Structure 1
């Protein structure tokens, strides 16, 4: 019991639901982390292929089976005509607007700069700096489904 006496004990309750803003932040942060892993693997000359579980029904037997398959990760970056790396931040299939002037990509010069920029953007997302852009894209997607 002496171990419990050294800890700070509080009465707390876990929330059943997470606010939509926090959910969108964590969703985007997870995708940015995947891009960081992809960039680091490419820098080392390796393939980044995370696994996911896929369930399907066998047509001959009718049995439901679950298999592990490679998850497809699309790159958010590309090399432009001037030889610079351009990085667009995606939320789902949509590109986030990065400022009020309509900029949608970040221009970078090296792969190391790309990884550092992705890490700083991840911190910015978790701090809530891109909440307005995420909400804008999310609402536009939601209204498109309503048509």
Structure 2
């Protein structure tokens, strides 16, 4: 019993659900992680193959099976007219405004791409883009209404 007495015991319970804002943050953090992997692969000169599972139904037999499929990733960065890189942050197909009327981050070189993405990921974790994510999520939901 002396061992348990040395621990700090509480009556805390695990939360049942995450808040919608936290779900959106987690989704964006996952996508930013994929972009970091894509940027690192581009710097190393290799290709990135992220796979996902997909259930496919055979038309003739009606049998369903799970197939691993390569996920196509498009980079969020592009070359600007002045030779620098511009990085957009996307939530779904929507580009998120990082500040009022500004949706891109200017980056000097490809070497600065990964640290910039990691900095943005930490900002998303801290909740700095919650209002922009809320607006993008609402606009995305409006597209599904009839």
Q: Could you tell me how far 1:41 is from its partner in structure 2?
A: 0.9
Q: CA RMSD, aligned part only?
A: 1.7
1:69-84 paired onto structure 2 within 5 Å = 69-84=69-84
Give how far 1:58 is off: 1.1
Matched, 1:117 2:101: no
In structure 2, how many angstroms separate the alpha carbons of the residues matched to 1:58 and 1:4? 57
Structure 1 unaligned segments of length 5 or more: list them. none
Match of 1:126 in 2: 125
Q: Output the TM-score relative to the length of structure 2.
A: 0.91
**TM-score (norm. length: structure 1):** 0.91
CA distance in 1, matches of 2:67, 2:6: 46
Change (3 A) 1:68 1:6: farther
CA distance in 1, matches of 2:139, 2:130: 14
User: 1:140 Cα deviation (Å)?
Assistant: 1.5
Deviation at 1:105, TM superposition (A): 0.8
Aligned length: 146
Cα 1:85–1:60 change in 2 (3 A) is: same
2:21 corresponds in structure 1 to 21
